[in-house]
Homo-oligomer: A and B are copies of this chain.
Amino acid sequence: VSRAEPLDLLDEAHSGSRVALARLLTIVESGGTRHRELVAAAYAVPPPYVLGLTGPPGAGKSTLVDGLIATGLEVGDRGGPLPEIAVVAIDPSSPFTGGAILGDRVRMQSHATDERVYIRSMATRGHLGGLSLAVPDATRVLGRVGFALVVVETVGVGQMEVDIASAADSTVVVLNPGWGDSMQANKAGLLEVADVFVVNKADRPLVRETRRDLEQMLDLGESRPWRPPIIETIATSATGVAALWAAVNDHRSHLEESGELATRRRRRTREGLIGVLAAESRARSRALAHGERFEAAVDAIAEGTIDPYRAADELLD
């Protein structure tokens, strides 16, 4: 394990060192003192644009990300082609970063050796707030070293995966034709976070029915200034990927022009601070749960001279 200082690593990563960048993201995963030093620097610069992708396993997210990377590097945004793009891949259900994520890297292999693309799978190795805090921290570190766009891809459809992917500026929900049957459990959650819908594998049956279902659900929902478009893609042949890229850029323009981007980011900042407060106070209470004062409190409760609630208050104060 490198003992290089986070600020030195930031300089090296900013100059293009992928080794330094990998170490920085390991620091994010690990939490601790160096993490604190790192986030102090990372949060001092504006965040990158974060694009979240979520949807059920096997929907084709990684292949779509592969296509989006190609389009982003070629077409880019209003500022022209993007010089580089980072991908953060998350599989919170896996205790290791292997499994599905290694599969992702294979599926994204057209960019595996492209030095303009940085792909990183993330796990928590000690970060006190888990992935829901580690991923935003990682995007800020990537922004700090110069990435203008970070794609966060989550594998799985639990609420946690959806929450992580939707802590993005624009969230793409990737479905397949006929998805509704297999996805009842978290349908509402997915629908609520979508800024853009993708019906991938659009060469399969039931595309029209799936589109109609989504349209109906959007009709039933609250009317909002932005109605999520539904983009049909066949990721394996890059069909529709340019349209998806354009839809994401449209959403971004909408957010910027309406002022909604600032509103969303402030809401995320609030939620992030609440998450850090909870994690920090959890860590503090754990630190109080041993040692002399703690054992004395246990004795006092056992003797009946204090109840556990007053004892906890005295330890916390």
Contact = CB atoms under 8 A, between A and B. Distances in A.
A308 interface: yes
A254 interface: no
A298 B278 contact: no
Interface string A259-289: 0000001100110111011111110111011
B301 A39 contact: no
Contacts of A45: 304
| Copy count, this protein chain | 2
Contacts of A280: 285, 309, 312-313, 316
A8 B289 CA distance: 34
A311 interface: yes
A309 B269 contact: no
A134 interface: no
Interface string A65-101: 0000000000000000000000000000000000000
A277 B304 contact: no
Interface residues of A, number: 44
Nearest to A136: B308
A48 to B, nearest CB: 13
A310 B273 contact: no
Given A266-B298, A278-B282, A285-B278, A306 B43 contact: yes
Contacts of A284: 281, 316
Interface in A39-71: 39-40, 42-46
Contact of A316 (B277, B306, B309, B313): B277
Given A40-B307, A306-B43, A307-B43, A298 B282 contact: no
B298 A273 contact: yes
